[in-house]
Structure 1
Amino acid sequence: MNLRLRARLNLSTCPAATTPSRLVRFGLGPMVIAGFLGVSLPLAQMAEAQDFRFSSFDVQGNARISDAAILTYAGIAPGSAVTGAQVNDALQRLQNTGLFEAVEITPRGGTLVIEVQEYPTINQITVEGNRRLDDEVLLSNIQSVPRRTFSPAVAEQDANAIAEAYRVSGRLTATVTPRIIRRSDNRVDLVFEVAEGGVVETERLSFVGNRAYSDRRLRRVLESTQAGLLRQIIRRDTFIAERIALDRQLLTDFYQDRGYVDFRILSVTPELSRDRGAYFVTFNIQEGQSFDIGEITTVSEIPGIDAAEYQDVIRIRTGETYSPRLIDNTISRMEALATQQGERFVRIEPRITRNDADLTLDVEFVISRGERVFVERIDIEGNTTTIDQVIRRQFTAVEGDPFDPRAIRQAAERIRATGFFSDVAVEGRPGSSPDQVIVDVDVEEQPTGSLGFSVSFSTDTGAGLAVNFAEENFLGRGQAVRLGFNTTEGSQSLNFSFTEPSLLARDLSGSVAVFYTETSSQNRSFDTLDIGATFGLGFPVSEFGRMDVYYGIESNEISGLSTTNSSAILRREATDRINSFVGAQYAYDTRNTGLDPTQGVRLQFGAELAGLGGDAEYLETTFLGIAERDVMREEVTLRASFEAGALQMLDGDSRLADRFFLSSRQMRGFEANGLGPRDLNVANRDALGGNYFAVARFEAAFPLGLPDEYGITGGMFYDVGTVWGLDNVNGGAAGANPVDDGLHWRQSVGVSIFWDTAIGPLRFNFSHALDFESYDLTRDFDLTVEARF
């Protein structure tokens, strides 16, 4: 009786449309007698009952795979009795190896003939139909390799991987079909045909259960954004499922930072529209109540430690909105005090007592002894470019120090804050002994360099072009290198800077910067040229304070002055000058604490002394103060700022490069350099600047009730300020009075329209000058546009 078993897979087209809902398998089915395998079994029932004994085997068609390997896969021993079903099992085993395109088994007396057709080798791999993603990006995701055996199963996985790359970029409807083209010598070209489809946007982000904050305010917290007016060219609203987890965490942190200790996200539901072109994402939340801080106490369970000393370092106060951030900062201060006192293994535990009646939380900080656990070592993995030292310096602990889980978490946050890594995981695991812990740091690097081209327009400087290069992790050492070129109508500038954030392996930054600036009749009747360099050191002096000291040297030149029309004050400056100076600047900034802070203050004091060589001797002092606060459920932002400066000449008269000027951003309602002492000659009316300036700005920004996707909000402002004081007021036009350098306050009011877009911030100011001098240059409208591409 003849028995022939045959299995063949047709690879002439080999389609596989790989989307999340549609897959075509390359492998065999569970039964070789069904489907596309085409198995022929004459008199199958009798064959299954018949026993076979094969004394020899004849393997045919194999070129790369040996006879012995094929017989091993078949699993039939010479001379043993086998049934037709066992022969069928041998066929399936051979086919399931994934090595053969076709397998045929034919018993011929005492000989079993096994005829195989091996899968071809891959000649080349190409991608067709892709426009949004380059071949290099897509091919980096696949496992198939030229000059190796083609596998339908691997090709299917590769098609899935390419489709996944499109899914991450927001093209959920993309399909990828692998096909083969037959070549000579049992070779094939593997082609992935791509239909990219359209980008799936986030059409709407909505919230259910929110009462304290509007949908508009909560959308500002999320990483995801919904589609706006320029959706056809702006892709920041692309739906990416992986962002949902980050959005959940950001939303939770936002509420908990505002005292909502019971806040919960019940569900997040992304719904795909019928045409599969957009997502509607709904956050179902439960806010709870906001709690304030009640009674604050400190107790010590360690003999010899005075709890009162630790109570004194607490900066939070009763009645303040509760925030885990405030508690964590207090613990850090207490642990720092313990370290200063030489105490080790001190544990600060906050014990919270809830008072639902008055919505307060009493906080008791308990000082106790922690476990004697040490850091055995810190293992760092995943960094191929960044050197280990850049990561290690974010840890306050080194090998042999007491293990502090909270300090380790803070180190992980500092590593993330560098911006060098897309993912950071820091975990502790048991060490070589019970009192040892190994800290594992696993990072995933991301690009840290950028090359930017931007066009800009301002009513001050007109149209402009800028090219900027920045590398924030130069040679993997955490150093920052920046190079920029900027040109506008009548102005060109070039600058370069280098910053080492950890000079001498300490929390000390060192920087060097060089600059070149040239102006040509930019709203003035003369030209300027400034070339110089500065060298600086920066270091923290408190939790929110930082000090920067620097030395600089520069060359200043004024040219193009008219001997008849230009002011005599300026004509005296028509000589090159070298300026050598040292300076210091202290900044205190609380605006960036917490997640989306509702209030903050920035104070900045600066002093600069010239006279260490060079041609100028002066003392310049400046001050900047900014205060912000969100009110009305954080829908309205109130902002107040004050700037002032004084220039005291130690030898000679001040020069144009030393004096103060106000731009139209500093004093709205006036042109750049539009107020203060001015040459009254009608031929030029050049601004001369002043030795002193002061300006205060008050502003409110608020929504206009327009749909969020427009990104348009409004504002109102009031500015008051002036520039005054010259060392020599004689030099105006012939026959005219001396230049007026008196203290005259100017005032202006106006409204603003803000349009926040991904191609740049747009601001429209409609202003009106209330108080001004007859020689001032006022402006009723101001527009600033900056586009980056």
Structure 2
Amino acid sequence: MRSISVRTVDAPSRRGQRCRGVFFIALFAFGATLAMLLTGSLSSVAWAQATPASQAKPGAGPASQPKPGAGPAPDAGAPPAASTTTPAPDAGAADPNAPAAPATEALGPTIRIPQTEGDKAEGYNIVAIEVSGNRKTTKDEVLSYLKEKIGQPFKMETLTGDVRALWDAGFFDDVEVDLTRGDRGVTLRFLVRERPNIKAIEFSGNDEIETDKLTEGIEVKANTILSVPAVRRSVQKIKDMYQEKGYFLADVDFTIDSQRENEVIVKFKIVEHQQVTVRRITFIGNENVPESELREVMQTGQGSLFSFGSGGPYRQDMFERDVLMMSALYYDKGYMNVQIGTPRVMLTPDREGIEITLVIHEGPRFKIRQLRVFERDADGNEVEPLGGRRALRQLIRAHSGDWFNRAEVVKDLQAVRTLYRDAGYYSVEADPETELDSVKREVDIVIPIKRGPLTRIERIEIKGNTKTRDKVLRREMEVQEGQLYSETKLETSKKRITALGYFERVDVTPEIGSAPDRVTIYFEIAERATGTFQVGAGFSSVENFIATAQIQQANLFGNGQSLALQAQISSLRQIVSVRFFEPYFLNSDWSMSTELFNQLYVFSDFSRSSNGASLTYGYALVQPWLRLSLTGTVQYDKVNTQNTTTFFGSTSSVINTFPRLPLANLFNDGRTISLRPSIAYDTRDNRLFPTSGIYVNLSTEFANDALGSEVQYLRHRLSGQFYYNLGGSTGQPGSGFVLKLRTELGYITSPSSAGVPIYQRFFLGGILDMRGYRLRTIGTRLPLNQTLDPNATPIPNGANIGGNLQAYSNLELEFPIIDKVGIRGVVFYDMGNAWNTEDQFCKTTPAPQFPGVVSPCFSASSLLKLRTSTGFGIRWFSPLGPLRFEWGFPLYRIFNEESSVFEFTIGNFF
């Protein structure tokens, strides 16, 4: 039994610059054999030709003697020379008809090379294939690269290819093959040495690109076989990622650190350097469109609020978007042959900026010569369109003679498609056909419409709702399985689901179902955390430390219900409430909410404690935009003019002046039973983070003895919230500029001669309504003394008794600062005031220190004397909820008001 061993080693391997294998052995053997055969053949021929004829063939006769005068015969011992062996033409002894000598005799002796063990094994059946040395790579993976199979005849050529295939797989540093030939056949043993395994991949110096994104973008991965070329390609990929963000000077290097058990750690070291900014953009060839219009549609080169005069960073993906926007601008102006060349991007000499040059070939501007829209049937015949020809033509606003505007044509075609799809024709085709006349610079537009089959919704599938139940989404849909397809209803369904505020993203994709007249609709959502824990704290010269907390779950158990527990605690107040809301009570269009509360307020003149509950039923007049509701409230209020102990154990020293004055009727307390009907209109795109739409609520609350109430009043309230998206993706927090406006009006009266209880009156001031002023400091003040003695010391700055009429507005602009972490800024302007309309206060002389501004009686001129403030803030959409940090500056301050007030809390403003 004999065996051979063949082996191949990678040139860059640790064993040195060697590359040995069966492929090279075979090649060497073949070359050596060929050389020896050629050398031996030529020598034999030369030798045979130099031999005398008598030696070549016995009994040749006279031919064996040389011709006289031909010179001496060549030396037998001399090297054979072909040039000296040609016989004389007239030797004549040889018979021309005699048979030729055998070729073997002419070629001389044959040289034989011994066969290798591989050559001897040719044709033997392969009885076994073994694999050893593999750790990470399985035996089956190794065998998958081999053409040699058990039971097949062995071929040396096939073995050579198998070794090369294993090497090219890139998994091994060394491949050896042992061949053993026996009586039963050939046994092959492949001995491999694996390349190192990547234990981990580490990055350092990457501040601008997250490690997860870098890991995702490179070729090498942890727990895979090391490939140095792949590592080098990954270096270039990292550089490309940085260049897309404007870091053209970023340096990337790598090291490979060896570890135990044939493992390595690949480390990428990144030096980002400074981000390259756009210094200048030059346009060449824009003869008809000014640079100002081109720059308006570009994001590249537009400095942000924090760019400090620079042109902003360069990003490749942003610039590609800019080129498309410029092309669209030209198309909208009728330049249908516009071409924007490849931009030239050059680094400035200081290597801190770039200059971009864009060459534009505008081409001619085209007018519409003819525009025709019609419908064809399946046979190509023109038929009456849906709604009639006149109605169809009115959807297309372009006319002959107008400059071509692609955006307007696309918008009109979408209106045509929507018309047909709302009627159930999902597969409607309305693709424009254009024909340009470059000589006359005119274009003909033909829009043939094909209805397709009437389509019904076969199935609605929801994906991504790991928590929210299907019914929560389906009850917001205006489309149902089995109905005719309607694009408008489908879009409305998407808006209603988005408005729930439970999802980061809602995508809707309709696809043809099991038949051409069936469609399947896929709702794919990405859920967001709907449970929030909100806390806030602040300091006040009146309340000292203030703490607020709220635990809320807006999507309780995935049922779309809401549960909130709220607490506000300070040295002057304690509020605890629990509220539950069911938007679809008993799976109907009715809603239901209930609330339990316990409240304690301690002021300088009195304290008030309240315990009660409320129950609200609502009905959607127009689902979900218009809702009517009725709230019933039962509560018991107690007003105390004595010392009161608060939550923190402190004791309030209330001034008992009010009960001894004619104002004592302000402190009516007891049982209150009220009903409050209201109507609300809501078109906000998102209930938790609205960026567009409006919310308006109008309510009237009445409490009188007919309901069993001891306290009587009539309160009207109108509030409106308006949102306008100036840019960014709608409904996503931290996206674009959002303009917000909130306005609230309130008016309360009492049929009782005692007037409105003080605890039901309006007080403004604080982060929740009038920023820049301390809590409850804005309101009507009266010049009262501290005692009944007319000569007693007056109450400093008057006594704040609140108002029965209030009006205030908040205008703010919210803008992004750092989008990727959800940090936004806000600038605001607040204005408002509280007044009285009751006679007993209108006849009272106002406090002299600030006449008019806090007059106890309302008049038309009071609207010109609103309290105002302005300021700015920072908001962070953190995992705990929206954090608010705001600085307010009151305008036209009076008496002891502060020049600025800083407050912070968690939660949306409005």
User: What TM-score does the superposition give when structure 2 sets the normalisation length?
Assistant: 0.55
Specify the structure having the higher radius of gyration (Cα): 2
Specify which of 680, 684, 704 is matched with residue 784 of structure 2: 680
SS of the counterpart of 1:92? helix
Q: Within 5 Å, which residues of 2 pair with 1:369-408?
A: 371-408=453-490
Distance 2:29 2:324 in 1: 65
1:553 alignment partner in structure 2: 634
1:105 alignment partner in structure 2: 177
Distance 1:334 1:490 in 2: 61
Task: Work out whether 1:660 is the aligned partner of 2:762.
Answer: yes
Specify which of 143, 146, 164 is matched with residue 74 of structure 1: 146
SS of the counterpart of 1:91? helix
Task: Work out whether 1:89 is the aligned partner of 2:161.
Answer: yes
1:583 alignment partner in structure 2: 676
Alpha carbons of structure 1 residues 667 and 423: separation in structure 2 relative to 1, 3 Å: closer
Q: Which has the higher strand share?
A: 1
Query: Which amino acid in the other structure matches residue 872 of structure 2?
Result: W
Q: CA deviation at 1:389?
A: 1.8
Query: Which amino acid in the other structure matches residue 838 of structure 2?
Result: G
Distance 2:824 2:554 in 1: 30
- Contact 1:550–1:583 (CA<8 Å) still a contact in 2? yes
Q: CA deviation at 1:373?
A: 1.7
- Contact 1:539–1:546 (CA<8 Å) still a contact in 2? yes
Alpha carbons of structure 1 residues 536 and 212: separation in structure 2 relative to 1, 3 Å: farther
Task: Work out whether 1:620 is the aligned partner of 2:707.
Answer: no
Specify which of 96, 116, 140 is matched with residue 192 of structure 2: 116
Distance 2:244 2:671 in 1: 54
Alpha carbons of structure 1 residues 586 and 10: separation in structure 2 relative to 1, 3 Å: farther
- Contact 1:715–1:753 (CA<8 Å) still a contact in 2? yes
- Contact 1:669–1:778 (CA<8 Å) still a contact in 2? no
Alpha carbons of structure 1 residues 103 and 613: separation in structure 2 relative to 1, 3 Å: farther
Distance 1:568 1:655 in 2: 16
Q: CA deviation at 1:401?
A: 0.7
Task: Work out whether 1:228 is the aligned partner of 2:306.
Answer: yes
SS of the counterpart of 2:476? coil
Distance 1:180 1:383 in 2: 44
Q: CA deviation at 1:657?
A: 1.7
Distance 1:193 1:91 in 2: 32
- How high is the sequence identity, in percent, across the aligned residues? 17
- Contact 1:580–1:613 (CA<8 Å) still a contact in 2? yes
Query: Could you report, residue by residue, the CA deviation over 1:65-123 in whole angstroms, capped at 9, with x for unpaired residues?
Result: 78787556332357746446x4342123334556656422355777654212357889x
Query: Could you report, residue by residue, the CA deviation over 1:155-190 in whole angstroms, capped at 9, with x for unpaired residues?
Result: 979999x989x989989879797967644xx575x7
Query: Could you report, residue by residue, the CA deviation over 1:20-46 in whole angstroms, capped at 9, with x for unpaired residues?
Result: xxxxxxxxxxxxx9x988546766632
1:755 alignment partner in structure 2: 872
Task: Work out whether 1:767 is the aligned partner of 2:891.
Answer: yes
SS of the counterpart of 1:663? coil
- Contact 1:159–1:176 (CA<8 Å) still a contact in 2? no
SS of the counterpart of 1:657? helix
Query: Could you report, residue by residue, the CA deviation over 1:190-230 in whole angstroms, capped at 9, with x for unpaired residues?
Result: 756576877998978999989999999999xx9x9946399
Distance 1:72 1:276 in 2: 52
Q: CA deviation at 1:62?
A: 4.8
Distance 2:584 2:899 in 1: 46
Alpha carbons of structure 1 residues 153 and 330: separation in structure 2 relative to 1, 3 Å: same
SS of the counterpart of 1:74? coil
Task: Work out whether 1:607 is the aligned partner of 2:700.
Answer: yes
Alpha carbons of structure 1 residues 757 and 459: separation in structure 2 relative to 1, 3 Å: farther
Alpha carbons of structure 1 residues 280 and 638: separation in structure 2 relative to 1, 3 Å: farther
Query: Could you report, residue by residue, the CA deviation over 1:129-177 in whole angstroms, capped at 9, with x for unpaired residues?
Result: 699999999999999999x8867699979999x989x989989879797
- Contact 2:238–2:252 (CA<8 Å) still a contact in 1? yes
Specify which of 22, 41, 46 is matched with residue 28 of structure 2: 46
Distance 1:212 1:515 in 2: 59
1:535 alignment partner in structure 2: 615
Q: CA deviation at 1:688?
A: 1.9
Distance 1:125 1:649 in 2: 79
Query: Which amino acid in the other structure matches residue 477 of structure 1?
Result: N
1:426 alignment partner in structure 2: 508
Distance 1:225 1:496 in 2: 48
Structure 2: tracts of 5 or more residues without a match: 34-115, 284-288, 366-382, 395-406, 433-449, 644-652, 727-736, 786-793, 816-822, 846-853, 877-883
Distance 1:531 1:514 in 2: 8
Q: CA deviation at 1:496?
A: 4.2
Alpha carbons of structure 1 residues 181 and 623: separation in structure 2 relative to 1, 3 Å: same
Specify which of 462, 465, 474 is matched with residue 556 of structure 2: 474
- Contact 1:501–1:508 (CA<8 Å) still a contact in 2? yes
Out of 385-394 and 241-250, give the one that drifted further: 241-250
Query: Which amino acid in the other structure matches residue 556 of structure 2?
Result: F
1:4 alignment partner in structure 2: 6
Structure 1: tracts of 5 or more residues without a match: 13-32, 231-236, 289-299, 312-321, 353-367, 704-709, 733-738, 770-775
Distance 1:153 1:421 in 2: 44
- Contact 2:177–2:189 (CA<8 Å) still a contact in 1? yes
SS of the counterpart of 1:412? helix
SS of the counterpart of 1:398? coil
Aligned residues: 678
- Contact 1:716–1:752 (CA<8 Å) still a contact in 2? yes
Query: Could you report, residue by residue, the CA deviation over 1:623-657 in whole angstroms, capped at 9, with x for unpaired residues?
Result: 346889999xxx99998957241322468643122
2:447 alignment partner in structure 1: none
Distance 1:408 1:655 in 2: 51
2:72 alignment partner in structure 1: none
Distance 2:478 2:746 in 1: 39
Task: Work out whether 1:568 is the aligned partner of 2:660.
Answer: yes
Query: Which amino acid in the other structure matches residue 755 of structure 1?
Result: F
- Contact 2:574–2:599 (CA<8 Å) still a contact in 1? yes
Distance 2:504 2:672 in 1: 44
- Contact 1:3–1:47 (CA<8 Å) still a contact in 2? no
SS of the counterpart of 2:757? coil
Q: Which has the higher helix share?
A: 2
- Contact 2:719–2:742 (CA<8 Å) still a contact in 1? no
Query: Which amino acid in the other structure matches residue 473 of structure 2?
Result: I
Query: Which amino acid in the other structure matches residue 4 of structure 1?
Result: V
- Contact 2:831–2:869 (CA<8 Å) still a contact in 1? no
Distance 2:589 2:251 in 1: 49
Alpha carbons of structure 1 residues 498 and 153: separation in structure 2 relative to 1, 3 Å: farther
RMSD: 7.0
Distance 2:674 2:885 in 1: 36
Q: CA deviation at 1:756?
A: 5.2
SS of the counterpart of 2:494? helix
